[in-house]
Each structure stands twice: as structure tokens, then as C-alpha cells.
Structure 1
Amino acid sequence: MPNILSVVTATAVGLTCKTFINLGLCTMSVHGLPNLMKALESDERGKGRGIVTVSNHVSVLDDPMTWGVMPARTYLSTHLTRWSLGASDIMFTNPSSVFSAFFRTGQVLETFRGKGVYQPAVDSAIEKLSSGSWIHLFGEGKVCQPDTYEVEKGVARLIRFKWGVGRILIETPRPPIVIPVWITGFEDLMPEGRKWPYKYFPRLGTKLSVTFGDPIPPEHVLSALKRETPLPANTSGKWIPPGLVRSDEGAEGEENRRIRVKVTAIIQRAVEALGRQVSGDLLGKKTSV
């Protein structure tokens, strides 16, 4: 039953967003979608290799509007639908409410701000990723209107990503496929700070874009795990660094923290690099007009 409800929820929300786009109520540019589709359809997923997408977060409609660009057939399979982490104080304020049930069936893991990287939502994300699922992360952990992106200068600076990103990656048995994502225009679709009732309605005619970058080479993350060479074939894709402990106590815990921070920084740099590329492309289009 949960899977059926998840399919129904994903289909209803996905088709609603797709209809919003197809009716021309906003314009959507999509780039690099084959990068994600190739990962989703990879045979490696059946062997426990999951997928992680990580993006900037500029409005409350980033998710689900971003997934309105997906082929409609993906809504019919929970295997092709993302899992995401959602703030408890926003999405799950009343555990018995319709809204909480909606987010749960929409494959959102209840996450508690301030409770650190060792909490059930992060454990669940690792477990799902280890079985080949797709996890989407907003690395900033909150909506950040892009005033500091400096698009006109081709710059993309995000606030520090949450270290749970690093923990999720380093504790999976096999190296996941990590794809950076950059979105633009969503802050104009649903800007922060508008008064009631306008804050509940998206602005029409907004220009949006979603860009899926190339997967981050596993070697980039391996470098943070103190491995100087690629993993040999006879390790069966082992990924977790030797001596990893699931706590921050003692010398081993300190080393674990160091690795987690370093891995998170690698992912953030990849997302920001994609943002600079997208910003540069947008700037080029403006100057050529």
C-alpha cells in the first residue's frame, strides 16, 4: 500500500507541475537531463549503487517543480522517484495531519534541524542509498534566495553545506553516482517575504532553468578518504573508509569528522562550479542579444 500511495502522490504532483510548464504558465529550460536518466536506468542500481543529486535551494517550489521536467513514466515507479529530506518544523508539524501524510507518501524523510548528522532521517537516507535508491539533497539545508550568487559576474557562492551530505556519502557500501544540479529562476516563481495571500501563489511567466551536471568522478571523493589510488577490482566497490566509526568520540571520531567535512566540501565545490557554468552561459546569452 505505501508504494501505491507514493506512486499516486508522485504522479499527481509531477503531472500538475508538468501541466503548469506545458501550458506556458512559466518557461522551463532543461539541460543535462540524460545524465540523470542514464544513472536512474543503470544496471548498477540493482547491485546496490545509489544515486545522489545535490542542488542549490532558492524557493519552496524547488521541489517539486524541478521534477516536473522528468519523463511522466518515472512517476509510476518509486525506484525512479527521488527520496528527499524535509524539515520537521515545516512539513511535519502535525504527525496525524493530511499534510504530514502527503509528504511521507511523497518520499520525504522527516529531518530535525539542529539534531546533527546522527539522526534517523540520515540513517534512513544511507539505508535507502545503499539499496540503490535515489536521494536528492538541498545541501544548504534551507531556502537561500540567491542575492550572493552574483550571476552578472559569473560567480556562485553558497552557504556551507550541511555535513550530513558527507556522512550520507561516506557510509554507503558502494560509491553512489553523485550528480550536481543547478536551478535558476525559482526565486522569482515563489519569492520569499511576500504578504498573505500572495505568498501562496506562484508568479506566472517566470523563466526557470534546471541543469544536471556530469556525475562527480568517484576519485574526487576517494581522495578525501585517504586513498591515493583508485580502488582495485577485487574490493567489490568497497567505499567506506577503514576505521570509520558512527560517532564523533575519540581520535577515530575526530578523523571521521575530518573526512565528512572534506567530502561535503568536495560536493559543494562541484555544485558551485556548475552554478558558475550556468551563470556564465546566461550572461553570454544576455550580452549576445
Structure 2
Amino acid sequence: MSSLVSKLTISTIGLASKALLNLGFCCSVNVHGLHNLTDALSSKEREGGRGVITMSNHISTLDDPVVWGILPAKYYWNTRKTRWVLGASDIMFTNPIFSYFFRNGQVLETFRGNGIFQPAVDSAIEKLNRGDWIHLFGEGKVNQPLKPPAGEISQHHANLLRFKWGVGRIIMEARKPPLILPMWLTGFEDLMPEGRPFPYKFLPRRGVDLSITFGAPIPNTDIIQALNSRPDSDYAKDVLSTNNSVFDGVLEKRSAATAEHGWLANGNLGGAMDHVSERSAVEIERVRSAVTAIIQQEVEALGREVVTRTLR
């Protein structure tokens, strides 16, 4: 019964999102690289437990689910071709009705401030190991960049807030290398601008131009090579220096023991992850921080491509 309710929930929201995008509410909706996602979702490797991760900037409260209105309608009835997403408990799970709705909409309840060792992150890893699709907003919250002067487009729009460390944990602890696709969204900040008064803050604006770009999957070798070349990156050191208040050596070692059986082990990092559970918790966290930084760089690189394309 719960599976049927979930399919009905996702189908209803998916079709509503498709209607918003296609029935004249928006001036234009430009989609680039959708085949990268559909090819990943159709990959036979998923049956063997290779999951899919999409990772994007987060510029409005409507990014998800509206962006998925671009998918073929037949996908909405197939839970293997619809995303799971982490959603904030203090926004989406504030009463029984919301909780029921979002859980059936394939949202994993996430508690802000509870760190990377919480059930939502554990569930995301488990779903990846079943070959499911997880969508992540690496920044962990809506980040609407300041508007440049009229007629200008700033490269600063491709600079994101530092990604949450849970991104690295999810990727590292997957048993098989996930297919990781960067995404870049534009225009959604105009669809749902932050800071508007009631009741307008709940209403999307008409007549905006949207674009959705899917990059090619990030090669696993790029992650491995980047990690081998920057095990003591300044980024990782900065993360460690700001993370002392939530550092837990016991949980770090437990995470490391799991990662030891993941795809980044078995010599992929030149021995850096071999017998990792015997290493210091700080060193384990450093590798995870570097993984997170690499993925953020890939998303920002796609963002710069989109900005450059817009300037032409």
C-alpha cells in the first residue's frame, strides 16, 4: 500500500511540475544534457548495485520538485527512475500531514546540525547500494546569489557555499562507484525569490526564464587522481579546523570501517584507504573532506560553463 501511495504522490507532483514548466507559466525552459541523466537511470549496472547521484546548486525552495517536471511522465510511476532527496526536518516534517506527504514523496528526513552520522545519511548510502538515485543539494540550504547590475552576468554566480561533509561520506561508503552527475540550475531564484512578504513568499512568479543543465558523469578516475594529488589539501585542513566541535573519533572509525569495504578502497588511492580503520580519525576525515571538495569543484565548473554559454 505504501508503495502505491508513494507512486501516486510522485506522479501527482511530477505532473503538476510538468504543467508549470510547459503550460505557459514560464517564458522559457531550456534543458541541456538530459540524456546524461536518462542514460544513467537506464544503466544496467544499477541492477548490480551501482547507484546514481545528481548534485546541483540550490537557488529556490521550488528547485525540487519542479526541476523534475522535465522528465518523461512515464518515469513518475517507476520509483527506480525517480530521485530520493534529503529534506530538512524543520521545514518539511513539521506536522503529521507534511511528514506523510514528504515521506511518500521519497524525501529522507534530515536534521540540521546533527552532522553526517544520522539516519538520513545512512539511508542514502543504503539506497545507493541498491542502485537507487539520490539527489543532493551540497550546500545544504537555498543560496540565492546577489543580482549583478542589469544586463550583466557574473561568474560569481558559479561560486557555491562550501558543500556539506555528508556528500563525501555518502560517496566514500558506497560499495560500488556511483554515477555522479553535476547539475546547474538558473532562473529558479526568480521563480521563487527569497525574502518576499506573506502571502507572496508561497507563490511562484510568472514569466521567468529557466535553464537546467546536466553534465556528463564525473569519471571515477578523476576523483581518485585528485585525491592522490591532494591528500593534505588546504581545503581539508580548513574543514578540520572548523569541525572540532562535532568531531567524534568513535563514529569516524566506524565510518572508516565501512569505507574500507567501499569502492575507494582496494588500492584505488595508492594505499591511502587500505586498512583505513587502523588510521587516525583525523586522517579519515581529511580524505572525506577532499572528496567533498572535488565534487563541489565539478559542480562549479559546470556552472561556469553555463555562465559562459549565456554570455555568448
TM-score, normalised on structure 1?
Answer: 0.89
TM-fit CA distance, 1:110 = 0.4
One-letter code aligned to 2:287: I
- How far, CA to CA, are the matches of 1:47 and 1:227 in structure 2? 30
* Structure 2 residue matching 1:141: 3-state secondary structure: coil
In the alignment, residue 133 of structure 1 is paired with which amino acid?
Answer: D
Asked if 1 retains the 8 angstrom alpha-carbon contact of 2:60 and 2:189, the reply is: yes
- Two-structure CA RMSD over aligned residues (Å): 2.0
Shift of 1:55: 0.3
2:309 to 260, 265, 281: 281
How many residue pairs match? The answer is: 271
Deviation at 1:242, TM superposition (A): 2.6
Letter of the structure 2 residue corresponding to residue 203 of structure 1: R
Match of 2:181 in 1: 179
1:153 counterpart letter in structure 2: S
Return the alpha-carbon distance in structure 1 between the equivalents of residues 33 and 13 of structure 2: 22
Aligned pair 1:163/2:165, yes or no?
yes
Deviation, structure 1 residue 56? 0.2
Contact residue 154 and residue 277 of structure 1 kept, 8 A? no
For structure 2, the residue ranges without an aligned partner over 5 or more in a row are 231-260, 266-272
Q: Is the 8 A contact 1:149 1:157 kept in 2?
A: no
In the alignment, structure 1 residue 243 sits paired with structure 2 residue 275: yes
**C-alpha distance in structure 2 between counterparts of 1:219 and 1:226, whole Å:** 10
Distance in 2, Cα, partners of 1:73 & 1:225? 39
Deviations 1:212-255 (A, max 9, x none): 00111101222355499xxxxxxx9943433344xxxx953112
Q: Residue in 2 aligned with 1:101?
A: 100
Of 194, 197, 210, the residue aligned with 1:195 is 197
Question: What pairs up with 1:1-289 in 2 under 5 angstroms?
Answer: 1-26=1-26, 27-94=28-95, 97-147=96-146, 152-155=153-156, 156-223=158-225, 226=228, 238-240=263-265, 241-245=273-277, 251-284=279-312
**Equivalent residues of 2:184, 2:213 under 8 A apart:** yes
Deviation at 1:6, TM superposition (A): 1.4
Q: Within 2, Cα distance between the matches of 1:159 and 1:227?
A: 23
Please give the alpha-carbon distance, in whole angstroms, between the structure 2 residues aligned to 1:255 and 1:2: 42
Equivalent position amino acid for 2:128 in 1: L
Tell me how far 1:133 sits from its aligned partner. Answer: 0.4
Give the secondary structure class of the aligned counterpart of 1:60: coil
Instruction: Classify the secondary structure of the residue corresponding to 1:152.
Output: coil
Paired letter, 2:87: G
Structure 1 residues 221 and 21 mapped into 2: Cα distance closer, same or farther (>3 Å)? same
Which amino acid in the other structure matches residue 308 of structure 2? G
* Closer/same/farther in 2, CA of residues 124 and 23 from structure 1, 3 Å limit: same
4+ aligned runs moved over 4 Å, structure 1: 148-151, 224-228
Q: What secondary structure sits across from 2:140 in the alignment?
A: coil
Equivalent residue letter for 2:99: S
Instruction: Give the 3 Å change call, closer, same or farther, for CA 252–224 of structure 1 in structure 2.
Output: farther
Paired AA for residue 48 in structure 1: G
Structure 1 position 21, deviation (Å): 1.4
Q: Does the CA contact (< 8 Å) of 1:243 and 1:252 recur in 2?
A: no
Question: How high is the sequence identity, in percent, across the aligned residues?
Answer: 56
- Deviations 1:82-116 (Å, cap 9, x if unpaired)? 0000001111122xx21111100000000011111
Pair 227,265 (structure 1): closer, same or farther in 2 beyond 3 Å: closer
Conserved 8 A contact 2:173-2:262: no
Q: What is the rounded CA distance, in whole Å, between the counterparts of 1:185 and 1:30 in structure 2?
A: 12
Question: 23-32 vs 175-184, which deviates more?
Answer: 23-32
Mapped contact 2:50–2:176 kept (Cα < 8 A): yes
Whole-Å Cα distance in 1 between the matches of residues 207 and 275 of structure 2?
53
Tell me, which stretches of 5 or more residues in structure 1 are unaligned? 229-235, 285-289
Cα deviations by residue, 1:114-169 (Å, 9 ceiling, x for unpaired): 11111110000000001100000000000011228997233411010000000000
Question: Residue by residue, what CA displacement relative to the aligned partner does 1:10-63 show, whole Å, maximum 9, x if unpaired?
Answer: 100000010111111012110000000000000000011000000000000000
